[in-house]
C-alpha cells in the first residue's frame, strides 16, 4: 500500500516451513518478478521503503497438532 494506505499491489506468499511461536523467519530465496511495463510493479520499485505499508492477510494457518484455521486454498 502507498503512504495513504491505498492498495496498489497484491502478492501471494506461501510459507511451508514451521515457524516457532514469537519467532521471525527470513527467506531470501523467494523472488518477485517485476514487469517494467506494469504500473503497480514500477510503483513498488520506485517508492521509498518508508512510504510503503504492508498488510498481511493470512488465508490459512496450519498448526503443529494438525488443526487448521482458515481455508486450505
Task: State the pLDDT at residue 64.
Answer: 85
The C-alpha cell at 47 is 517508492
Backbone dihedral region for residue 66 (phi beyond 0: left; psi -120 to 50: alpha; all else: beta): left
pLDDT tens, 25-61?
A: 888 888 899 999 999 999 999 999 999 999 988 889 8
Q: Tell me the CA distances in angstroms from 43 to 9, 20, 35, one per residue in order.
A: 9, 34, 11
**Structural domains of the chain, count:** 1
Domain that holds residue 52: 1-73
Residue 65, CB half-sphere, CA atoms under 13 Å: how many?
Answer: 2
Grid coordinates in use for 40? Answer: 503497480
Q: Which residue has the cell 484455521?
A: 69
What would the pLDDT profile of 9-32 be if each residue is shown by its tens digit?
999 888 888 888 899 888 888 889
Amino acid at each position: 500500500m502507498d503512504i495513504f494506505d491505498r492498495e496498489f499491489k497484491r502478492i501471494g506468499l506461501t510459507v511451508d516451513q514451521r515457524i516457532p511461536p514469537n519467532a521471525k523467519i527470513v527467506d531470501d530465496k523467494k523472488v518477485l518478478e517485476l514487469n517494467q511495463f506494469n504500473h503497480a510493479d514500477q510503483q513498488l520499485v520506485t517508492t521509498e521503503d518508508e512510504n510503503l505499508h504492508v498488510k498481511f492477510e493470512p488465508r490459512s494457518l496450519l498448526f503443529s497438532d494438525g488443526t487448521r484455521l482458515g481455508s486450505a486454498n
